[in-house]
Amino acid sequence: MGQKVKKFNRLLFQWYVKNHRVLPWRKTRNPYRILVSEIMLQQTPVARVLPKYAEFLKKFPAIKTLASKTLGEVLRVWSGLGYNRRAKYIWECAQEICSKHRGIFPRERAVLQTLPGVGPSTAAALEAFAFGRDEPMIDTNVRRVLCRVFFGGRAISDRALRDFARTLIPQGRGKDWNWAMMDIGALLCGARRHCLECPFGRLHGVVTPFQYKKPASRFCDSTRFYRGKVLASLASAGFRGREVSRLRRETGLHRRRLSAILSSLKKEQLVREKGEYVILP
């Protein structure tokens, strides 16, 4: 295994030198900016994140700036990116870091993972990219690469895969190793594979197929689709909000289904009602 690991890393870095992506969040070690990018990138393609990342940081350039704003202001800037609960997570992180940690990001993994919306992968990204630690960041594409090359396509638990990946990282190169793995996973080893271009085929002739993601459910007409439509309408409505009757017309939803969607949004504190109007918090 030792020789295979050495060859794997050599092929990985050779490929990365020629094919790496140039992304704005790779030019900073500011943990706030890295947190924003990582949460935005959850289930959202890079191309969609790039303009929103720039817009978000222009509006909220520092964590204390973000913490001083209302959730409604944050949701208005976030509008169009989807999965709006993530905007609430970032805002809540800012509130907690400023109130409990005097505006300074905690560095301990256990503490990082207590922050809203920060799971093992986001915590690992902060450790690697902000704090310079040799910690693997395992996303779906990285998982796919490792399982195809080292485990014959078998699914491996997150903890076991993270422990294994940690043994692959050359000392002091955690940041570059993670970026290289993320790039090769996204560009060559995604749902549409490019196996003929993959450098790891040279390790043992072929790279084993591996299916990890469940088939995507139909987005149009889904609850998530209509939640997004409601929040986008409210974001463009200003501080007065929208009448429920107008939201029904805009979404085309039956009264009962719209009521259920509004109830879920209120439960998550993403909207509130004011008489006949629904507004952002």
Closest CA to 272 of 244, 246, 249, 251: 244
Please state, in angstroms and rounded to a whole number, the distance separating the CA atoms of residues 85 and 75: 9
Please state, in angstroms and rounded to a whole number, the distance separating the CA atoms of residues 241 and 271: 10
Give how far Cα 221 sits from Cα of 218, 225, 251, Å: 8, 6, 10
User: 208-214: long-range contacts (C-beta < 8 A, 24 or more apart)?
Assistant: 208/147, 208/148, 208/149, 208/152, 208/153, 209/148, 209/153, 210/144, 210/147, 210/148, 210/153, 212/140, 212/143, 212/144, 212/147, 212/155, 213/140
* Encoded amino acid at 10, one letter: R
Parallel/antiparallel/unpaired status of strands 242-243 and 272-274? unpaired
Please state, in angstroms and rounded to a whole number, the distance separating the CA atoms of residues 129 and 37: 11
Beta-carbon contacts of 107 under 8 Å, excluding residues fewer than 6 positions away, are: 127, 131
**Are the CB atoms for 141 and 185 separated by under 8 Å?**
yes
Catalytic residue check, 276:
no
Q: Which of 38, 55, 96, 250 is catalytic?
A: 38
Count H helices and E strands in the chain, helices first.
15, 3
For residue 16, give the 3-state DSSP assignment: helix
Annotated active-site positions, please? 38
